[in-house]
Structure 1
Amino acid sequence: MMNKIVTLILLLTLFLSDVILNGMAFADSTSKKGGTAKRVAMLISGHGNVDETLSYDLEELVQSYLIFHRNQIDIDIVTPNGGPVPVKSNKDDVPYVSTFKKDTNALAMLANTLSAEQASQRHYDALFIVGGDGAVFDLPFDQNTQKWITTFAHGGKPIAAVCHGPAALVDVKMHDGSYFVANKLVNSFTFVEDHAFKKENIEKYPLITQTELEKRGARFVANRPMLPFVAIDENLITAQNPTSVAKAAETLLLAMGIQPVARQAYKDEASMELIAKARNMGVSHIDFAMLHTPERYDMMYLALYGLYAFPLAETEQDKTIELQIMEKIGEYFKHPQYATHMINTFLNAGDREKAKFHFELAKQQFTDFSLPEAISNKL
């Protein structure tokens, strides 16, 4: 009896070992280059070779690339003409940018990107189009790029385009001659955001992305300026701005049948998601976030929202909400220039008492605090 039990145990052990080894081999084959891993083409602008100030957005590329990389996706980086593209270094101190540059082979890819013509000879499961100012200059107009994008549209493969990236889609047509974006829910960097944040370049733009999408019959949907939004219409995924990029990449993974690995949101992403939550559910959510997990947020991003949002508000309700958020951010971001901005904003909003309150508070918080004469004369 004992011999039978020992024999059974040995057989079971051998069986389990075989299952485990086969499972490990399968997992390895589906995650490594050359195996059955799914492959995403990441399309970026090459216009930075003409004008470095009008290039792809490095942070958008980095955030989305790292999400694909961590989910064991094979990646190619593609530009219209191929070859090297400039790589900015002004954000090298940001942890995820450092990871991208030091712990992946992405820099080698950026030193020798595939051309759209080369990429058209390869198989991809999905396309991800990165934004940045450069995207409006070359992606919609390069013939090889347009032909290549069209193959994804005709094949019904998932396409994600973020920020200015949807500009690449405005002239893509289906077999019947209709525009690919026609009657689809579509999002991009908005008309308002372009005119608010791209003033130094907008006169150079050959097109405004939202305007051209709407001309082609797209049903444009969006969040407030600076806040995240991802639109989904069948296999088309579009995202509004840089703080929407990570979620767009994960949404593309879902469209590919892949469950994204859990992660902590990037700080800029988390900061704007917090603002979106505060706009819809009340500013107390900023208090809770600062109380429990302040390290997850970037105070500079919160402050930037406080600086820009009120002038972009259109309705009285929006203006009231933006004043509340601006003031709440000021409780945690203490800086004389931000205090000056709050005082001036309350004066412009017709609330002189609030302006006086924040002036007195600033004098207590900051040594030798004073206002520009143009503002102090209004107090």
Structure 2
Amino acid sequence: MKHILFIVTSNSITGTRKHKTGYEFSEIADPYFEFIKNGMTVDFASILGGKPPYVGYDESLTNSKNFMVSSGFKRLNSSHELDKIDITAYDAIFFPGGLGLMTDMVSDPRIKNIIRYCYENNKVIGAVCHGPAALLNVTLSTGQNLLYGKKINCFTKEEEEMDGHELNEIIPFMLYEELIKQGAIFSYTKPFEPYIVNDGNLVTGQNPASASNVAMKMINLLL
């Protein structure tokens, strides 16, 4: 049995406008059910532990509605504090999006150490939408930046604009630009269409519509 750790933001406010944020609900719900139906176990950790904030719940989305009443959601609301996680117990880690982690995961040394350990030990690393922000500023044991020469994607500038995410007022930086600055090879598709990129043990998805596909590719790599 494979064990997946979802690592979730604890941040509820972003930008100078103090915009409400957290994790994007469907970006946990959709991958959660993909992993579960393939016989994998899912645990949840967050920066602070406990109940992480969320945005974007839509009861018309079947997975989201089902996740809201699931045992998984109850466990998520009692998420493990990151400091108390034994990362060696997991086969993969997954970073759901939402704007929150653009603040609390970009430079957190615990996040950087976990990602470096997982990458260098061939564990699968997945991230979707704004989730790849967690992959910034990871220095490998060789001294090289994790992202250098890696094929990566994330929420695009056009999607940010369509969602009204003004720079500084809501988002602290343009994610795709920062990924490129650290050496990533960035690719994308039309706004809000599913799109994923796989490079070795890294799997990234562009937007909420890509979350299930990220999970399915991770499952393929794990099996």
Provide TM-score, normalisation by structure 2: 0.90
Matching residue within 148, 163, 166 for 1:182: 148
Tell me, yes or no, if the aligned pair for 2:138 and 2:145 is still in contact at 8 Å: yes
How many Å separate the matches in 2 of 1:124 and 1:196?
A: 36
How many Å separate the matches in 2 of 1:107 and 1:254?
A: 25
- State whether structure 2 residue 163 is matched by structure 1 residue 197: yes
**Number of the residue aligned with 1:46:** 10
**Number of the residue aligned with 1:80:** 47
Q: 1:131-176 CA distances to partner (integer Å, 9 max, x unpaired)?
A: 0111211111222222222211221211111000000001111111
**Number of the residue aligned with 1:100:** 67
Partner secondary structure for residue 100 of structure 2: helix
Deviates more, 1:193-202 or 1:241-250: 193-202
Query: Where do residues 60-71 of structure 1 align in structure 2 (5 Å cutoff)?
Result: 60-71=27-38
How many Å separate the matches in 2 of 1:221 and 1:121?
A: 30
- State whether structure 2 residue 176 is matched by structure 1 residue 224: no
Q: 1:197 to 1:245 in 2, by over 3 A?
A: same
How many Å separate the matches in 2 of 1:242 and 1:121?
A: 26
Letter in 2 for 1:85: P
- Offset at residue 218 of structure 1 (A): 0.6
Deviates more, 1:134-143 or 1:124-133: 134-143
How many Å separate the matches in 2 of 1:133 and 1:89?
A: 11
Q: 1:89 to 1:243 in 2, by over 3 A?
A: closer
Q: What is the RMSD computed on CA atoms of the aligned residues? A: 2.0
**Where does structure 1 differ by over 6 angstroms across 4 or more consecutive aligned residues?**
49-52
- Offset at residue 200 of structure 1 (A): 5.0
Q: 1:47-96 CA distances to partner (integer Å, 9 max, x unpaired)?
A: 12787721110011100111111112111111112111235585234322
How many Å separate the matches in 1 of 2:19 and 2:79?
A: 16
Q: 1:246-293 CA distances to partner (integer Å, 9 max, x unpaired)?
A: 011000000101xxxxxxxxxxxxxxxxxxxxxxxxxxxxxxxxxxxx
Partner secondary structure for residue 112 of structure 1: coil
- Offset at residue 195 of structure 1 (A): 2.7
Q: 1:119 to 1:49 in 2, by over 3 A?
A: farther
Letter in 2 for 1:73: M
Tell me, yes or no, if the aligned pair for 2:9 and 2:101 is still in contact at 8 Å: yes
How many Å separate the matches in 2 of 1:194 and 1:137?
A: 16
**Number of the residue aligned with 1:161:** 127
Select the structure of larger CA radius of gyration.
1
Partner secondary structure for residue 20 of structure 2: coil
Matching residue within 53, 56, 79 for 2:23: 56
Partner secondary structure for residue 89 of structure 2: coil
Higher helix share: 1
Q: Structure with the greater relative contact order (CA < 8 A, sep ≥ 6): 1 or 2?
A: 2
Consecutive unaligned residues of structure 1, counting only runs of 5 or more, are 1-36, 258-379
How many Å separate the matches in 2 of 1:154 and 1:223?
A: 29
- Offset at residue 201 of structure 1 (A): 6.7
Give the number of aligned pairs: 220
**Number of the residue aligned with 1:247:** 213
Tell me, yes or no, if the aligned pair for 2:27 and 2:211 is still in contact at 8 Å: yes
**Number of the residue aligned with 1:119:** 85
- State whether structure 2 residue 147 is matched by structure 1 residue 209: no
Deviates more, 1:232-241 or 1:202-211: 202-211
**Seq. identity, %:** 27
Partner secondary structure for residue 203 of structure 1: coil
Query: Where do residues 306-345 of structure 1 align in structure 2 (5 Å cutoff)?
Result: none
How many Å separate the matches in 1 of 2:5 and 2:19?
A: 23
Partner secondary structure for residue 192 of structure 2: coil
How many Å separate the matches in 1 of 2:200 and 2:87?
A: 25
